[in-house]
Structure 1
Amino acid sequence: MDRAEAQDYLSAALSGIPEGFSGRLLEVPVGTGILTMPLYREMPEAEITCLDYSPEMLERAKSRGEGLAHVCFQQGDVGALPFGDGSFDIVLSLNGFHAFPDKEAAWREIFRVLRPGGVFCGCFYVRGQNRRTDWIIRRLYVPKGYFTPPFETAESLWHRLEETFGPAKVRTVQGIASFVCRKAKEKHP
């Protein structure tokens, strides 16, 4: 994937966050924060919570987010989010779902903490879009524990988002699917 393609999928994933956003946003996982801290500097009215399971990743994100008083960092598990129902206006998940060990718990928890009408957006690896990427994931990343099956396809992701949350847009670049959907459902299926 070249730089233009990477920027393309990232722009699509972040398109669910409106310019000048001033609500509550959860990013899970935050990773090192390299993709989002520059954006958060432009959102001083937002209340942003960055969560990651890895204390090491969280420390790197904190370092990148130094001076951002409207951003808090918290260690935690996406499968057991420490927030109340409907706590966030937006949930952002960049490059996380392909690594989450309990994906079903992650789907349920994200649905639970997102308010009705809220936006869920992000991106992650999907199988079946690029044979070379699929091979690398299967032969290198899964055995090392970086990625955890099962993996969605672009089509299965679209169906899951539509059935779980409501209207969804899914776009793929190589083996990465970017998505934006709005929570229109009252109960997790």
Structure 2
Amino acid sequence: MNISVFGAGDDRIKSAYHASKNIYDNVLTQGSFLSKLYINFFWSGTDDIEVANKILSYIPEDFDGTILDVPVGTAVFTEKKWKSLTKANIICLDYSEDMLDQAKGRLSDCSHISFVQGDVGKLPFENGKCDVVLSMNGFHAFPDKKKAFRETYRVLKKGGSFIGCFYIKGKSGRTDWLVKNILTKKGWFTPPFLTEENLLKVLHKLYSEVECHTDGSIAYYKCRK
């Protein structure tokens, strides 16, 4: 599951996603026979589109608050949803300029959406700014995961929702081998990686309500502050 990334001060991430920008969406959406083989063999057939739709369903269709999408990636999964939420204030943030440029290409005609190049370890927002923080496929790439959890929590309002998904280790030997020997060396993923048990401990420590599920080696969740 080759995925979008927003890093915390690591230029290897920018380089890795610059190099993969032309194949990124194809892999995520299984747009070719080879990408389907890759997903089925290494990621146990996990459907990224289905997981993304489950996560986005946590946001009501009439939502009118502030959403932080970090990392926005290319907005390949969020484009339709973000365009429909015309009453919301949506902030799309990514560390990779290449990913952010592709997201702008999809969403720049929407006046309720803004774009920020920045670091999840030092978010440029005041405490409690956001009603929802969405982080799809970012935490397995963030170099400093503790800062990322702390910052996404800090900018969330009390009662707000933290939702998202990312790779967790320990679910599939084949996936773990891919992540360790290829994706990490390419700069797309950054250790250390959480297990499901680790993730639940972190989420329950930070949030008052936690709903967490797994699909293959991907954990997806909805938490309330």
Q: TM-score, normalised by structure 2?
A: 0.78
The RMSD of aligned alpha carbons is 1.4
Q: CA deviation at 1:86?
A: 0.1
Equivalent residues, number: 183
Q: CA deviation at 1:132?
A: 1.1
Q: Distance in 1 between matches of 2:195 and 2:59?
A: 24
Q: CA deviation at 1:42?
A: 1.1
Asked whether 1:85 is paired with 2:127, we answer: yes
Task: Indicate conservation of the 8 Å contact 1:154/1:170, yes or no.
Answer: no
Pick one of 163, 167, 181 that aligns with 1:125: 167
Gaps in structure 1 of 5+ consecutive residues: 184-189
Pick one of 189, 194, 208 that aligns with 1:166: 208
Q: Distance in 1 between matches of 2:53 and 2:85?
A: 16
* Corresponding residue number in structure 2 for 1:42: 84
Q: Distance in 2 between matches of 1:76 and 1:138?
A: 26
Spell out, residue by residue over 1:110-168, the C-alpha distance to the aligned partner (whole angstroms, 9 max, x if none).
11100000000000000111221111001101111110111111222122111112211
Task: Indicate conservation of the 8 Å contact 2:46/2:216, yes or no.
Answer: no
Gaps in structure 2 of 5+ consecutive residues: 1-38
SS in 2 for 1:9: helix
* Corresponding residue number in structure 1 for 2:146: 104
Q: Distance in 1 between matches of 2:158 and 2:146?
A: 20
Q: CA deviation at 1:44?
A: 0.4
Alignment of 1:22-61 (within 5 A): 22-61=64-103
SS in 2 for 1:39: helix
Q: TM-score, normalised by structure 1?
A: 0.92
* Corresponding residue number in structure 2 for 1:62: 104
Q: Distance in 2 between matches of 1:158 and 1:181?
A: 11
Q: CA deviation at 1:67?
A: 1.2
Q: Which one has a larger percent helix, Structure 1 or Structure 2?
A: 2
Q: CA deviation at 1:4?
A: 7.2
Partner AA of 1:140 in structure 2: I
